[in-house]
Amino acid sequence: MASVTSEQETPGYEVRLDFFEGPLDLLLFLIRKKKINIHDIPIALITREYLTYLEQKQHLNLEREAEFLLMAAILIYIKSQMLLPREKDYELEEDPRQPLVSQLLDYERIKKISQLLRTREEAQSKLWSRKNLPFSLSPPEEQIDLEEISIFDLAEKFFTLLKMKEGQSVTLPEGKKFSLEEKIREILISLKKAQFLDFEEYFYSQSSLEEALISFFALLELIKRKVVIALQDNLFQPIKVWLFQGRQDEYPA
């Protein structure tokens, strides 16, 4: 077994803890660096190396580094197990290091796969398909990464809004009827003025349930005809409705 005192040199290079994805990553790095046989890890040596890294940290951020500390505890536990007197050498499965070794091997495999995926991501990022291209530069460039949202997302949002509206007292404008065509025109006019509509805001501005429903159908119709497009920055971000450039002429307001 490697003695704790024979290797007292501190690492001559600076590697920060945040550089590692987790304790397994750090352990694997140390094992490879020291050219240790992974199936016969000198636990004392690796524990000391490992702790040296943890000590570089002035302040431990518990949320992130708890896992690193847990691993330190596991290493020390394994070491204590190995110090227990025994009559003969371990069978493989009795070796207290065995669970950690298989965990490390699994993790090494995952790292390898990650690297392969990274290579593919790199290669793929240089290919542009038509879907990557901004549709006629509307919406503006900084919004290109927006996700087009599905009808289901839209409907779900709509019903949530409807529920919220239900609680409010609504004054019903008497005798006023809304037609789908009128609403479509209204949406197009506001879109031309404002560039985009905030889905949520728009429904809040509707005076009655009936009007809100008609507006929703009008919007669905416009999406279906590909005159407008509903986009979302990210999950739970506001949904915005944009005009498809070049198409609005087909629906003169």
Instruction: Return the exposure string of 134-147: e unless at least 16 CB atoms fall within 10 Å of the residue's CB, then b.
Output: eeeebbeeeeeebe
Are 232 and 153 a contacting pair, CB within 8 Å?
Answer: yes
| Using rule CB under 8 A, residue 250 touches another protein | no
Q: How far apart (Å, rounded) are the C-alpha atoms in residues 57 and 103? A: 25
Which one, 71 or 241, has the nearer CB to another protein? 71
Residue span binding another protein (CB under 8 A) among the ranges 84-92, 114-122, 162-170, 196-204 = 114-122
| Using rule CB under 8 A, residue 34 touches another protein | no
Which one, 148 or 181, has the nearer CB to another protein? 148
| Using rule CB under 8 A, residue 59 touches another protein | no
Which one-letter amino acid corresponds to residue 207?
S
**Of 125, 168, 169, 171, the one binding another protein by CB under 8 A:** 125
Which one, 19 or 204, has the nearer CB to another protein? 19
For the bound state, the minimum distance from the C-beta of residue 39 to another protein, rounded and expressed in Å, comes to 12
Name the 3-class secondary structure at 121.
helix
| Using rule CB under 8 A, residue 193 touches another protein | no
- Structure tokens that stand for 136 in this block: 């006629």
| Using rule CB under 8 A, residue 108 touches another protein | yes
The sheet carrying 228-232 orders its strands as 147-148, 228-232, 239-243, 196-198
